[in-house]
Structure 1
């Protein structure tokens, strides 16, 4: 419900803080006192269009804060979740308007778009005025209200679940058909790619393994080149340029030709012989190393070819080499889907058809129940209209089939509340057929009957009693009080019969100080209520008879 309203510098209101309780709250006051400003202020907090003219003269900005206390599990919490906002016990909608017309919106202190305010407010408060009715005047709400009146919510939820299942089956079927169509378009490519990749047979981790082995072989090749180069120094291919062994032998021969005795050459000859043996042994070891560590040139070539083939395939399919095995599996699956697609589509077609039949059966049962509930609702409304001076009017609850393209989670019906205000008149939409006063009372009658199923906890009626008096005004007041047993109701009224029904009464007045006027609102106690209702009965001069009549109204008596 609406817990409080704080208004700052809006038109004639300088500063106003109001608290509201449950049940029926009536706002009274003389014409022009500013009651409409209160509703406009609330509308501003609820996301209505902001205008620079709402800012009080001489002020830089105005602001309005409306605090609501929604019941548990109210739809408003789902909207907050959509906005990633944490739920709190109370919900404060706030609007600030600058003097140039620019505005800012807040929810529990967090800045939001004005559209968010409107969505939240639509779930929290409904205004019924003579000229700008919302809520019941919107045909989109009629189906839910009829279902709530008829106790059909569980059936409606079942239809919604079957509708989701049907749509999901249709989506699966459409996806399968599209997959087959895509596979058929790419069949030649798929078969070629699968054949090519199957021949290549890429394996998981193969590139890394081949690269490591290639690197090892390349390192072995460089090792062999180094050993061969060393061996070439000991065994030069150019025989004319002898190697170390030849040089050692030539040196020994030269020393051996020294004239005898040549004792001083003997140690040198010994060293040369040792060197020849060392060089011979080095040659032997190098030849052995060269033979043992020589890489297989064919294996290195094979590795190079394999890596080239894998990387070429990866470039062709625009994937990494490591993804080739998964790609082959995917392409095979697409081919398999193509080969087995006809059977799968047939199964999905049957599943979709079965889901459609289930939805149809449940939706048709809901339609039957709605037509029965519509008849009961028409009868209930027929009893409410005569006391409201609408005895010539008749409300029709039309349950009409929709085109299949418009079937939805709420079923196959278009539910519309229609009215004929005079006999022989063709029924039409509420806001198009009834006059302002008639429409307000029609809305009241609907609310009386539909209050049990209303998802909106706060209702506001703006001069629902305009143009009526006496017994009709009393009937309006009685029905407002009846609705207020289930919902919070605020009503702007000039009728004493309606005002006397309020659990709380607020008097709106205009005060003039110097050259400035200001609107003030004050809660009325028992004595003040008696005087205000007496004023409403008698006019400017309150008489004892008017006070007695006010007492009679306040105690439940009839005038």
Structure 2
């Protein structure tokens, strides 16, 4: 619930620091004093739209902070944890707004986008404005109110989840069906391309090997000639070769090393070089023996090399990339075949998903029907107490299996009312006058909010157009609601204010060129005077005080 609200330089508020308690808190004040200003400021913390005009004239910025107790709010606690914004169990929402219109939001001291303020705010506070009853004219809003009253979240979640699954399957099926012609054309092309690459069957790394062998074969004659000449120079030329010359040098230095031991490592190195030279000569000899000119093999190599280059040019890739392309096209072809199998499977899955959705929607409809009857009975009792003694109220839940459907099920809900004897039940919009609609709307808000899991409910002058005994009934309704949850009610009616567990007064003070709105809790004596003012106007008499005491006592 809301524990504390701090407001600085908001509109005509200089500074407010308010403590709130459980139960019904009535907020009263003279006309024009700004009774709703604290509610408007709280709206900033809850992610509502901001405007630079909200900043108090002459101030650089305004700031609003709201502290909530989450002791009995596991959903809000889970939301903070999921968004990594928890801070030792506390929940502080803060919003700043500069005079230039720049706005920033914070949750537990961490900067957040306004969308997160709004998400969390929806778990903490529910605001009913004075024009909220106009939404009653829409069937969608009537359905929402009924669901709030029923509290069948599990059934709503089941319908939403099954609808999402059904929608996803239907979208996938539509996409597959829509691209069937394109898939057929693509399949024909892929079958031809994969078959051609299958026949050529170029292996990974093969093109580099073919290219190297082709180059070797093309230069075979030169390799044979040059390697033969090199072999002769190394060892086979009878007149002059490197091996003989190296042996001569080695022999001469070997004879000299007896005269100078420093020649020993040089002689050793020459012996090693002679051995290596002999090895190289033997290897070169074997290499030359293997060399041959094979025109037939060369022609085969040239043909495969040319085919690889042409095939790569056809597919607009490098020849070495043909094996990877081959695998890619084969995978795509297999994928198209899998798509045909998936298409057949999807049609069966969609039938099952549709049936699952219908079953979930039917269970939800049965719950709406059952709770609709209970809400209609409760509504009829309440609105008859609101100066509509002959009123009848009913809720019609129509389940349409053939409807398009949606995440909210297959029901169309219509609230019906008759306010005069002999008048048949008819949709609210066609029967209720403005005043009647206001009373019906207020009764619905109170009854459905009683089942709400939102811990703080705010009623902002929803009792406009109500007076006398009707106002007393409204006060009792709100008091009853306050016995179960935290309720803040901005009101001008003494009968409603008198039912508050506590009361706050809003006053507007003007000094020279400055105007300021202040808000403070009232003690027992001050409440009597404020209620007397509401009853009798600016002149407070002992008679109005006596009436005020009666209101508080009742």
Paired with 1:543 and 1:284, the residues of 2 have a C-alpha distance of 132
Q: CA deviation at 1:413?
A: 1.7
Residue by residue, what CA displacement relative to the aligned partner does 1:54-96 show, whole Å, maximum 9, x if unpaired? 3323223333333344553437965995xx5634544444443
Q: Pick the aligned partner of 2:353 from 352, 355, 366.
A: 355
Q: Secondary structure at the match of 2:75?
A: coil
The 5 Å alignment of 1:83-98 reads 86-88=85-87, 89-98=89-98
- The residue that corresponds to 1:261 in the other structure is none
- The residue that corresponds to 1:105 in the other structure is 104
- The residue that corresponds to 1:56 in the other structure is 56
- Answer yes or no: is the 8 Å Cα contact 1:509–1:521 preserved in 2: yes
Q: 1:409 to 1:335 in 2, by over 3 A?
A: closer
Q: CA deviation at 1:154?
A: 3.1
Q: Secondary structure at the match of 2:408?
A: coil
- The residue that corresponds to 2:379 in the other structure is 381
Paired with 1:536 and 1:317, the residues of 2 have a C-alpha distance of 88
Residue by residue, what CA displacement relative to the aligned partner does 1:151-181 show, whole Å, maximum 9, x if unpaired? 5433333333433343344345345545644
Q: Is 2:147 the partner of 1:150?
A: no
- The residue that corresponds to 2:12 in the other structure is 12
- Answer yes or no: is the 8 Å Cα contact 1:16–1:521 preserved in 2: yes
Q: Secondary structure at the match of 2:291?
A: coil
Q: Secondary structure at the match of 1:414?
A: strand
Q: CA deviation at 1:452?
A: 4.2
Q: Secondary structure at the match of 2:328?
A: helix
RMSD of Structure 2 on Structure 1 (CA): 4.4
Q: CA deviation at 1:329?
A: 3.4
- Answer yes or no: is the 8 Å Cα contact 1:127–1:460 preserved in 2: yes
- Answer yes or no: is the 8 Å Cα contact 1:507–1:522 preserved in 2: yes
- The residue that corresponds to 1:43 in the other structure is 43
- The residue that corresponds to 1:189 in the other structure is 189
- The residue that corresponds to 1:72 in the other structure is 73
Q: CA deviation at 1:539?
A: 3.7
Q: Is 2:331 the partner of 1:330?
A: yes
The 5 Å alignment of 1:187-226 reads 187-203=187-203, 226=226
Paired with 2:280 and 2:55, the residues of 1 have a C-alpha distance of 107
Which sits farther off after the overlay, 371-380 or 213-222?
213-222
Q: Pick the aligned partner of 1:450 from 448, 451, 454.
A: 448
- Answer yes or no: is the 8 Å Cα contact 2:132–2:441 preserved in 1: no
- Answer yes or no: is the 8 Å Cα contact 2:428–2:437 preserved in 1: no
- Answer yes or no: is the 8 Å Cα contact 1:67–1:91 preserved in 2: yes
- The residue that corresponds to 2:495 in the other structure is 497
Q: Which has the larger radius of gyration?
A: 1
Q: CA deviation at 1:522?
A: 1.2
| Unaligned segments of structure 2, at least 5 residues | 242-277
Q: Pick the aligned partner of 1:409 from 407, 410, 419.
A: 407
| Unaligned segments of structure 1, at least 5 residues | 237-242, 248-280
Q: Is 2:365 the partner of 1:367?
A: yes
- The residue that corresponds to 1:551 in the other structure is 549
- Answer yes or no: is the 8 Å Cα contact 2:228–2:288 preserved in 1: no
Paired with 1:282 and 1:502, the residues of 2 have a C-alpha distance of 111
- The residue that corresponds to 1:478 in the other structure is 476
- Answer yes or no: is the 8 Å Cα contact 2:129–2:462 preserved in 1: yes
Q: Pick the aligned partner of 2:485 from 481, 484, 487.
A: 487
Paired with 1:398 and 1:222, the residues of 2 have a C-alpha distance of 100
Paired with 1:97 and 1:282, the residues of 2 have a C-alpha distance of 89
What is the TM-score of this pair, normalised by structure 2? 0.76
Q: Secondary structure at the match of 1:74?
A: helix
Q: CA deviation at 1:359?
A: 2.1
The 5 Å alignment of 1:168-317 reads 168-174=168-174, 176-177=176-177, 180-203=180-203, 226-231=226-231, 245=239, 288-294=285-291, 313=311, 316=315
- The residue that corresponds to 1:263 in the other structure is none
Q: Secondary structure at the match of 2:36?
A: helix
Q: CA deviation at 1:144?
A: 4.3
Residue by residue, what CA displacement relative to the aligned partner does 1:442-500 show, whole Å, maximum 9, x if unpaired? 33311332234324332222233334444322211110011223332111122232222
Q: 1:49 to 1:357 in 2, by over 3 A?
A: closer
Paired with 1:224 and 1:505, the residues of 2 have a C-alpha distance of 112
- Answer yes or no: is the 8 Å Cα contact 1:8–1:16 preserved in 2: yes
What is the TM-score of this pair, normalised by structure 1? 0.75
Q: 1:440 to 1:304 in 2, by over 3 A?
A: farther
- The residue that corresponds to 2:255 in the other structure is none
- Answer yes or no: is the 8 Å Cα contact 1:227–1:286 preserved in 2: no
- Answer yes or no: is the 8 Å Cα contact 1:22–1:487 preserved in 2: yes
- Answer yes or no: is the 8 Å Cα contact 1:127–1:133 preserved in 2: no
Q: 1:358 to 1:553 in 2, by over 3 A?
A: same
Q: 1:291 to 1:377 in 2, by over 3 A?
A: same
Residue by residue, what CA displacement relative to the aligned partner does 1:499-524 show, whole Å, maximum 9, x if unpaired? 22222211111233344232111112
Paired with 1:289 and 1:19, the residues of 2 have a C-alpha distance of 102
- Answer yes or no: is the 8 Å Cα contact 2:79–2:120 preserved in 1: no
